[in-house]
């Protein structure tokens, strides 16, 4: 299938969803550009067995991620501060971006065009270029501000896809539960895997 996608991981809970989305994109033969916020690095450390020393160089993080996913150059890691990176420009063509999981902080920044870091800028670019942006938001309960930011972005064409797992496919594990959500997210890019169990009616 192929394609080029940007995956942002923020400091919301649910980094396993991000891991599953990246893995599925790589399996589909896609080029995946990964950017993780500072809070995202903290939370992934709690939730995933990803480990690299504090302050590790971007090259070292990229190597660790390639090792984890068992891939090579098709995974590109970008430092959150590298605002001169390829994905900061609309002239670098991509097939879309997902922020998974997406914190309320990053949601707000994207809704207001803040572009304070590379992830926010990349999302801003995807919106201005009218490419597909999927935000796997996670917080509970939601404040009126959160809801207003989601509405604003939905009106700008982004897909708000709350990281709410479903249970009707009777997952046996957290892994399966997160993977099903990841598969549904990739449906948004037309990249459905053949292994996805789909509802065919009662
Ligand atoms: C363990 C942990 C879990 C968190 N879960 C969430 C969450 O589900 N949703 C959220 O919006 N923020 C959550 N936060 C708070 C964000 O990490 C925090 O607001 C951070 O500033 C977001 O920054 P970022 O958007 O740059 O990643 C969590 C923080 C920690 C430490």
> CA nearest 8: which of 30, 29, 39?
39
Output the CA 128–ligand 1 centroid distance in Å: 26
Beta strands in the chain (DSSP E): 4-9, 31-36, 75-78, 97-102, 133-137, 159-160
pLDDT tens-digit profile of 134-167? 999 999 999 999 999 999 999 999 999 999 998 9
Q: Are strands 97-102 and 4-9 parallel, antiparallel or unpaired?
A: parallel
In the predicted model, is pLDDT for residue 54 greater than 90?
Answer: no
- Closest atom of ligand 1 relative to the 109 alpha carbon: 25
First to last CA, the chain: 32
Tell me the backbone φ, ψ of residue 78, rounded to 5 degrees: -120, 130
In the predicted model, is pLDDT for residue 79 greater than 80?
Answer: yes
Segment 108-123 mean pLDDT = 98
**Exposed, middle or buried, 51 (CB in 10 Å: 0-12/13-18/19+)?**
exposed
In the predicted model, is pLDDT for residue 201 greater than 90?
Answer: no
Segment 34-54 mean pLDDT = 94
In the predicted model, is pLDDT for residue 176 greater than 70?
Answer: yes
In the predicted model, is pLDDT for residue 192 greater than 80?
Answer: no
| pLDDT class of 186 with cuts at 50, 70, 90 | very high
Decide whether any atom of ligand 1 lies within 6 Å of the 123 Cβ.
Answer: no
In the predicted model, is pLDDT for residue 2 greater than 90?
Answer: no
In the predicted model, is pLDDT for residue 112 greater than 90?
Answer: yes
Output the CA 103–ligand 1 centroid distance in Å: 6
CA distance 150 to 132: 15
Query: What whole-number percentage of the chain has pLDDT above 70?
Result: 100
Secondary structure (3-state) at 15: helix
DSSP structural state of residue 53: -
Question: Would the pTM count as exceeding 0.85?
Answer: yes
Evaluate whether 127 touches 102 at the Cβ level (below 8 Å). no
pLDDT value for 200: 82
Beta strands in 16-122 (DSSP E): 31-36, 75-78, 97-102
Decide whether any atom of ligand 1 lies within 6 Å of the 13 Cβ.
Answer: yes
How many helices and strands (H and E) does the chain possess? 7, 6
CA distance 194 to 202: 21
């Amino acid at each position: 299938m192929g394609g080029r996608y940007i995956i942002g991981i923020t400091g919301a809970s649910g980094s396993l969803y991000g891991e599953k989305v990246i893995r599925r994109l790589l399996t589909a033969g896609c080029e995946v550009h990964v950017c993780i916020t500072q809070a995202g690095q903290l939370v992934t450390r709690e939730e995933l067995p990803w480990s690299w020393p504090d302050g590790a160089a971007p090259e070292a993080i990229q190597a660790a991620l390639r090792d984890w996913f068992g891939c090579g150059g098709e995974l590109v890691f970008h430092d959150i501060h590298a605002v001169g990176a390829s994905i900061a420009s609309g002239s670098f063509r991509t097939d879309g971006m997902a922020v998974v999981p997406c914190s309320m902080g990053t949601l707000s920044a994207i809704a207001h065009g803040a572009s304070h870091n590379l992830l926010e800028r990349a999302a801003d670019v995807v919106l201005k270029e009218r490419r597909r942006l999927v935000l796997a938001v996670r917080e509970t309960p939601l404040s009126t501000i959160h809801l207003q930011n989601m509405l604003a972005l939905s009106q700008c064409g982004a897909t708000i896809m709350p990281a709410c797992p479903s249970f009707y496919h009777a997952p046996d594990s957290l892994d399966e539960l997160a993977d099903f959500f990841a598969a549904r997210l990739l449906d948004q890019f037309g990249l459905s895997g053949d292994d996805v169990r789909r509802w065919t009616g009662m």
